Amino acid sequence: MAYIQFLGAAGTVTGSKHLINTSADSSGKNGFQVLIDCGLFQGEKEWRERNWQDPPVPAQEIDALVLTHAHLDHSGWIPRLVKGGFRGPIYATQATIDLCSILLPDSGHLQEEDAAFYNKTRTSKHSPALPLYTGAEAEACLQYFRATEFEQSKQLSPEISFRFVRAAHILGSSMAEISLKTNGTVRQLLFTGDVGRVRNSTVAPGKVVHSGPTEGESADLMVMESTYGNRPHPTDDPRPPMAALIRQTVQRGGSVIVPAFAVERTQKLVFMLKQMMRAGQLPEIPVYCDSPMAIKAMEIFLKHTEEYSDDTRQLITECGSPLEWKGFTFASTPEESKKINETRYPSIIISSSGMATGGRILHHLAQRLPDPKNLVLFIGFQAPGTRGYIIKSGAREVKIFGQMVPIRAQVAAFEQFSDHADTPELLQWLHTFKNKPAATYLVHGEPAAATSLREAMTKDLGWNVQVAQWLEKVEVQ
């Protein structure tokens, strides 16, 4: 009997890994084995430690990997899988591959830096501490990626084929429709990966890629994300209050500091700021994107014109490449970054990491947090325990580079920028389905979020919905 086993993102939002085994016998040995996503566990230590455990199936016995999108909680364990002996093809869209080619080596470098830090400070119980994988190892796994077009069926073995459809979550993001022959019948499985926002640019403003996941899907069995199962997004337009906050900051001679992930979130904000300046909502003050990945990420984005939303296409047609926009500066070298840090005129500085856990944003925060003229603007989720969370929750000081830095700057946060559909949006999308799946398994959510979404789906749609458990095997009947 064919089965699916949840190897990650069950009981948590990270570490997405779902194994399909086409096995006809109960030993599970002779089946063709496909992994859907291969993400890194992030966040609490209890979960991160699972990154060091071998999967229940030896890596060399996995035949192929289908990757829904480039976020590290879906792709960041690939170098470790390859290190463990996986040599199969990794199917992904070209945009996902392009993003992985910057994100995975960067993740490897961060793993190396962390290991070096533990060794220097002797804070690890492992001596010497080793990186999960290195930048070079991450680079080496890129050779296994195979570019796959949307909506083209790909046969993986006599029993199994798949097709990507749009998920509208980030650049290149997809859902994987799987056709699986088992017991003489063909079953349709749908793995949603992360599901993007609805087609409404006021509810989800600044959307730079395709809006709305593919409608009219059908499935016998579905594995769906549940990140925002219990946290609905605000439905008001953040642009007017954000413009007011930025104008007030400029009037008092301060600068705006935005911690933001270099991929997707930074592009979203850059396009939105340009639109607000063109509409006269914002003064034309300098905007700095200070991240070593900001230029590369923007170049990848510009290359994939097929992914643009209508607003993005129009803005680029009228204003040209954002890399050439007057007043917008993309800094890649440390010297360029230092210059931004020394700027005394009002400006908007967008830098990573998005939760202020590391990276160049720390220099900007250390410099600007003590001055009440400045504004720190959060446009992304801040996980508990991160510096971003501490600053956002109203603390009076925060530790940066070993020093306590007083927080006197104004702090504001907008929750409208999420790239995940919330429960009302998911239900709206699920209502477009052509059939009722016999079973839906919820993954990629904290237990409370998954449970809440399960209740909403059962009540609203009458579907059979289960919350997936870590290492649980479910048969495909």
Contacting residues toward Zn ion, per CB under 5 A: 71, 194
Toward Zn ion, which CB reaches closer, 71 or 210? Answer: 71
CA–CA dist 3, 57 (Å, integer):
13
Toward Zn ion, which CB reaches closer, 79 or 196? Answer: 196
What tokens were used for 406?
């007083």
Question: How far does the chain reach from its first CA to its final CA, in angstroms?
Answer: 8
**3-state class (DSSP) for residue 94:** helix
Q: 65 - beta bridge partners?
A: 35, 90
CA–CA dist 91, 154 (Å, integer):
9
What tokens were used for 174?
């997809």
Q: Minimum CB separation from Zn ion for residue 71, in Å?
A: 4
Toward Zn ion, which CB reaches closer, 71 or 364? Answer: 71
Toward Zn ion, which CB reaches closer, 16 or 291? Answer: 16
Q: Minimum CB separation from Zn ion for residue 74, in Å?
A: 6
- DSSP assignment of 222-287 equals EEEE-TTTT-PPP-S-SHHHHHHHHHHHHHTT--EEEE--TTTHHHHHHHHHHHHHHTTSS----E
Q: Quickly count: other Cβ atoms within 10 Å of residue 360's Cβ.
A: 21
Toward Zn ion, which CB reaches closer, 37 or 217? Answer: 37
Q: Minimum CB separation from Zn ion for residue 94, in Å?
A: 18
Given the DSSP bridges, would you call strands 403-406 and 256-259 parallel, antiparallel or unpaired?
A: unpaired
Q: Minimum CB separation from Zn ion for residue 63, in Å?
A: 25
Toward Zn ion, which CB reaches closer, 228 or 328? Answer: 228
Q: What is the DSSP letter of 39?
A: P
CA–CA dist 286, 280 (Å, integer):
15
Q: Minimum CB separation from Zn ion for residue 444, in Å?
A: 8
Q: Minimum CB separation from Zn ion for residue 169, in Å?
A: 6
Q: Minimum CB separation from Zn ion for residue 69, in Å?
A: 6
Q: Minimum CB separation from Zn ion for residue 131, in Å?
A: 23
Which region, left, alpha or beta, applies to residue 16 given φ > 0 means left and ψ of -120 to 50 means alpha? Answer: beta
Toward Zn ion, which CB reaches closer, 204 or 405? Answer: 204
Toward Zn ion, which CB reaches closer, 97 or 160? Answer: 97
Given the DSSP bridges, would you call strands 403-406 and 397-400 parallel, antiparallel or unpaired?
A: antiparallel
Q: Quickly count: other Cβ atoms within 10 Å of residue 321's Cβ.
A: 11
